[in-house]
Structure 1
Amino acid sequence: METLGEVGVGVAVFLETFFPPIPSEAVLPVAGFLAYEGRMNPWLAILAATVGAVTSAWGWWWAGRALGRHRTRALIERLPLLDGEDFDRAERFFQRWGAAAVLVGRCVPLVRSFVSIPAGIDHMPFWRFTLYTTIGSGVWNALWIGLGFALGPALEPALTRWSGLLSNVVVVVVAALVLLFVTLRVRRRVRESRADANA
């Protein structure tokens, strides 16, 4: 972001959709802090972040639309430790909440990376999907960039002192969540295998 300015903010948010361990909650306040220091325009940073979020969401929407329900479900079932039930739950959630899922989902870590897929599968109109994604992403980006801008003086010592530690904490938390997910899924698979053997 320091090198590319507002464009760098958009690129960071775009990448976050494909690599969820890069959390926008950590990226956007830094953009606000850089705006506070006069190194970028806060409104252009919000615009760039929103464009990055929307364009990446388009990619997932088109992927869901192109693959369709059956192929997406079959693909999920081929992934290690995932099964069709995971897809069915996500689809039921989207069918129940629809537009609200897209709107609010843009403000939820991990969910915002994948909520676009069921929208494409369900053939949500592209213009409506774009509208809800733009609103949800715009509000989210403005909130965090505005927070970084408002807390500018307080953020500087914190960023200098704690940025390395926070990066390590994020890595540890993500690794712990992945390990927990893998452990629970392996235990479930073992129980299912034993039940099938007994049957």
Structure 2
Amino acid sequence: MTDVLTAVRTHLGEHFRRAGITAEPTAASVTFLGTERIEVLRFGPDSDGVAHYVSVGCSRHPMFDPTELVTDAIHGPRAEVVVTLRGSTPKGLARSVAVLAAAPAVEGLVLEEDALIDLETPLWESSPFTAFLLGHSDIEEVPLPDPLPAVTIFSATPITATEAAWVRLKGADAMREAWVTDGVDVLDPRRRAASPS
């Protein structure tokens, strides 16, 4: 059986070396009761002060909806998530990334682009953000040998409860358009919330 997590780590290292981040990542390890360990690797910061926090562990098993009568232990989708932020590491962020990455195993969620994952608690100490909006990331899929599907790395953007409500009402694309219109820097952990009308 292919060691999926080793393939993910190798792929991540190659991706960030190409991006100019040559230092080995720092790692935090989180284990939740009844689940396998999730690691969160921090790559960077780069020359612009931007760091990338990537889960390793979600892709250990394929994701599937527990309400489905038939599950596919081989061909089901696999994923990891990356949170990209500018500045020093917020205290508690690694745990929130691990909670997100563990959601498929714990909650039976299938991570996919434009999904809203609401943790309903601050994502890090004194954070106004309580949810993640998943989207496309710059990290290419991690190829695995047949018959396993590639591992998708989703970006996970921290959002406020107000923004989460907007996503539920109008959709993920409308939220992203509002950020652009309002000049919101989603990489800033101290950013203000968008105020879409």
Q: Which has the larger radius of gyration?
A: 1
TM range (shorter): under 0.3
Higher strand share: 2
Higher relative contact order (CA 8 A, sep 6+): 1
Q: TM-score, normalised by structure 1?
A: 0.25
